[in-house]
Structure 1
Amino acid sequence: MNATVIIQAAEKIVSLGFKDLGYEYVVMDDCWSAGRNSSGYLIPDPDKFPDGVAAVADKIHAMGLKLGIYSSAGTLTCARYAGSLGYEEKDAALWASWGIDYLKYDNCYNQGEEGTPKLSYDRYNTMGKALNATGRPILYSLCNWGVDGPWNFAPTIANSWRMSGDLFNVWDRENANCPCSELLGLDCKTPGYECSVINVLNKAVYYPSKAYAGAWNDLDMLEVGNGGLTDSEAIAHFSLWAALKSPLLMTNVMTSVDAPTLSILQNTAVLAVSQDPEVSSATRVWRYYVEGGQIQLFSGTLSGGDQLVLFLNGGSTAREMNATLTDIFWNDGPGGTASEIQGTWDVYDLWASRMSNATAEAIIDGSSNATRPINMTALGGSESVYSQVPLPATKALMGSKVGTVKPNGRVTAKVQAHGVAMLRLREVKTNDEL
């Protein structure tokens, strides 16, 4: 990781169209510094950043993007570079002077200042106050791996918080380092590390109510396109992170993104769910164990009265999955019955209009004839889809209509093994209501 790599990644984020879809931060991780000077200020590694970090920030900003940096709430970072514990005010002021827009703040070498929520809160709050004192808007990404229940205190001091240990590019695997299996009597609320996609998901489902606008549960960075996941698993991973409103942080080598990866990361209908102004996370309605894994139903409120429905098939074979409107609107009715939620609803499949590999290849190759996804940034994010007005953007932001469900009917979908069906419901209005 050096200035050249960061700038090249930013150039690809722009040229491939990711910026137009709402991806806006380029975040440097560990290993960027060369220690502290005699005054106690951090120094960028001169070989990696010959012109300094501020010069990189200027170039990133000129592209219309924002720059993030990394440190740890300890004496050292996880790679044993200088940490920020005890230097919070100096580090925050320095980063602000460089034009930094985002801080990932890790938990290594914390000098034992954890073990109770109060200890963790005090340590991370010190940096939060230091960032605010700079007067520069800096997104604060708290990364203490779910230790001491950050969902209970981080919403008051940070913009996002990791609620589990590090995610690995593995779909579903029992791992003693990251326990999570009620069937085996293992506690899914223990953070752990080396966690699979399903493992992290089954930890995150306990805390959807903790997130709100400007404060999000962070299920860790995306593993789409990094190997280890099948296409169906990668689609499911991306869909679930979007539905649960986790920050979507790509970890790809941007100069070598392939077509299937680009077509997943640039699905505008799924990104519209992630960017939905309603903000609220989808919640799990039910879960059952089947051969090879679990099947689950998630449901969530979207702006404009729309409803998100996500079927997860963690089993080893494809299956038809279904849910009643009572299931889907379970949280909306009195006492959790949703008995009065009926009506007629059009059903849209958010993956039915997935970009073809040929289109993705044309974008990657820079073809002048490439058909780009609709510019969501120019539309003011995804808000146009909630106006209920037919727009050319509607299909791109809603996927393809695949059916209608009437009162007392069921929403059904064929779901691939280790895959999802991600659907959007829009109520059919009568002429008198239009």
Structure 2
Amino acid sequence: MGWNTWCTNDLCGLVDHCSEHLVKSVVDAMKSSGLVDLGYEYINLDDCWADHSRTDEGRLQPSPLFPSGMAHLADYIDSAGMKLGLYTCVGTKTCKYNRPGSYGHFDVDAQTFAEWGPWNCTALELYTEFSAQLNATNHPMLFSLCEWGVDDVWEWGGDVGQMFRIQMDHLPLWQFPPKAQGVGYGQGVSNIIEWMGDLQPSKYTRQFAYLDPDFLMTLMLEDSSWHNKTVMDYVDSKTEFSFWALWSSPLIFATDPRDMSDAKKSILMNAEIIAVNQDRLFTAGDRILKDNDDSCFQVWTKPLQNGDVAVIFYYPGEADEGCNLQIRWDEILSSSPVHVRDLWAHEDLIEQDSASHSVHLQAHEVEMLRLTF
């Protein structure tokens, strides 16, 4: 759980600007807002922090926008109860601004990171060799790798790192065609949901191995002229957060946490849904019922450590009239729950019929429940 620089000031990587001042202001905001207390612990600098040249000794160095250096920044972040994360690339150049990549420098870059003290290291097209070099430093680091889902990374990513990208880049849109490098059905929230539904994430999720659908785009640019139905609105952002939580995927958001609106707080700071994401059974939720000609909704379930089950009812459609959902519990579960908790409304539900459930969903909307038996 944490924050990434990728979309703070623009539409995801168009600029990807970061500086010591910006990062410190985000750290301060996350600490004062209570995000850190909820478990948001990583401050991840994407393709924005490194200088365009190495030192005379061949080491990576921060850009002049970090005048105090990376060790100082790591200490500042650590003092707030958080951890620094840094991006690099296994190739000769990084993807965005052609900064130095780590190819041919795996050992020295791993040692540099260990000396600076980051706890999260990310890289594109990562291989086992770089993972081994990180382990050789004896400095604990979370290793996040990006293959954009190619090479069936879900089959081996958990053997190399702790989190691994399973598809092309995510954009702050509900739906967008597959225009980027990598696999998947597209770059929007709905595209990723369908991709994960077919992938069945529980088959590949375990402790220290988590499928990464990319950053959360929670209420992207909500206070700007960009914010309309083409960008992430409140319903879309709630649905995105719900599914990332159900999949046990990293809750790394890439929008600005400074001066958060009440709407953004209600999503990012939903402790009940965060608890589903962080559940100690270390598994992911799967789609067990897909929408079709006979039903307008999907059903997803995730077993939890204490025997509870998290359920998402999801209407992926666009119809103005929405979707009337009615289902018997024995259609999707082995028994009826004795307690039903709505994780967005933060209230217990009293069912008219304990053997069934009904709800009306608007376009793109989810209902997320926690069931006790």
The interval holding the TM-score normalised by the smaller chain is 0.7 to 0.9
The match for 2:368 is 422
Matched, 1:411 2:357: yes
Partner of 1:87: 105
Task: Show CA shifts across 1:252-280 (max 9, x none).
Answer: 22224222111111111111111111121
Aligned residues: 341
Matched, 1:326 2:330: yes
In structure 2, what is the Cα distance between the partners aligned to 1:17 and 1:162? 28
What does residue range 165-314 of structure 1 map to in structure 2 within 5 Å? 165-173=168-176, 175-177=177-179, 191=183, 195-205=187-197, 206-208=199-201, 209-226=203-220, 227=227, 228-289=231-292, 295-314=297-316
Q: 1:38 to 1:405 in 2, by over 3 A?
A: farther
- Note if 1:104 corresponds to 2:97: no
In 2, distance between residues paired with 1:328 and 1:90? Answer: 53
C-alpha distance in 1, partners of 2:336/2:170? 40
Residues 1:212 and 1:322: Cα distance change in structure 2 (over 3 Å): farther
| 3-state SS of 2:291 partner | strand
SS at match of 1:254: coil
* Residue 256 to residue 194, structure 1, CA distance change in 2 (3 Å): farther
Could you tell me how far 1:158 is from its partner in structure 2?
0.5
Q: Give the equivalent residue in structure 2 for 1:44.
A: 62
Alignment of 1:6-21 (within 5 A): 6-21=23-38
Q: CA deviation at 1:170?
A: 1.0
Name the amino acid aligned to 1:231.
Y
Over 3 Å counting, the alpha-carbon distance change for 1:233 and 1:289 in structure 2 is: farther
Task: State the TM-score, normalizing by the size of structure 2.
Answer: 0.86
The equivalent position to 2:348 in structure 1, one of 388, 396, 401, is: 401
> Are 1:77 and 2:98 matched, yes or no?
no
Report SS of the residue matched to 2:86: strand
Distance in 2, Cα, partners of 1:294 & 1:69? 42
The secondary structure found in structure 2 opposite 1:255 is: coil
Deviates more, 1:192-201 or 1:206-215: 192-201
- Any unmatched runs of 5+ in structure 2? 1-17, 221-226
**SS in structure 2 opposite 1:43?**
coil
Secondary structure at 1:403's aligned position in 2?
coil
- State whether residues 330 and 336 of structure 2, in contact with CA within 8 Å, keep that contact through their aligned partners in structure 1: no
SS of the residue corresponding to residue 148 of structure 1 reads helix
Q: Which has the larger radius of gyration?
A: 1
> How many Å apart are 1:2 and its aligned residue?
0.9
Distance 2:146 2:329 in 1: 37
Is the Cα contact below 8 Å between 1:347 and 1:405 reproduced in 2?
no
1:271-318 Cα deviation digits (max 9, x unpaired): 111111112111101112469x96311011012110111011011232
Distance apart, 1:36 and its partner CA: 1.1
- Secondary structure of 2:91's counterpart equals coil
In structure 2, distance between residues paired with 1:170 and 1:289: 24
Distance 1:192 1:352, change over 3 A: closer
Counterpart of 1:54 (choices 68, 71, 81) is 71
**3-state SS, counterpart of residue 42 of structure 1:** coil
Contact 1:177 1:193 in 2 (8 A): no
Instruction: Give the secondary-structure state (helix, strand or coil) at the position aligned to 2:253.
Output: coil
- Tell me which protein shows more helix as a share of its residues: 1
TM-aligned CA deviation for residue 344 of structure 1: 4.4
Deviations 1:113-167 (A, max 9, x none): xxxxxxxxxx511111111111111000001111111101111110000000000
Contact 1:290 1:315 in 2 (8 A): no
What are the equivalent positions in structure 2 for 1:148-163 lying under 5 Å apart?
148-163=151-166
Distance 2:314 2:267 in 1: 17
Deviations 1:385-430 (A, max 9, x none): xxxxxxxxxxxxxxx11125877x2232222211100011111xxx
Shift of residue 39, structure 1, vs aligned partner: 2.2
Amino acid at match of 2:48: C
Equivalent residue letter for 1:297 = V
- Give 1:36's aligned amino acid: R
Mapped contact 2:210–2:249 kept (Cα < 8 A): yes
Distance 1:413 1:6, change over 3 A: same
**Residue identity (%):** 30
Amino acid corresponding to residue 303 of structure 2 in structure 1 = T
Structure 1 gap segments, 5+ residues each: 108-122, 180-189, 330-340, 354-399, 428-434
> How many Å apart are 1:104 and its aligned residue?
1.6
Label 1:16 to 1:307 Cα distance change in 2 as closer, same or farther (>3 A). Answer: same
Query: Take 2:185 and 2:357, find their aligned partners in 1: how far apart are those partners?
Result: 36
Partners of 1:194 and 1:176 in 2: how far apart?
A: 4
Aligned-residue CA RMSD (Å) = 2.1
Distance change in 2, residues 1:284/1:60 (3 Å): same
* Equivalent AA in structure 2 for residue 347 of structure 1: V
Going from structure 1 to structure 2, the CA distance change for 1:38 and 1:303 (only over 3 Å counts) comes to same
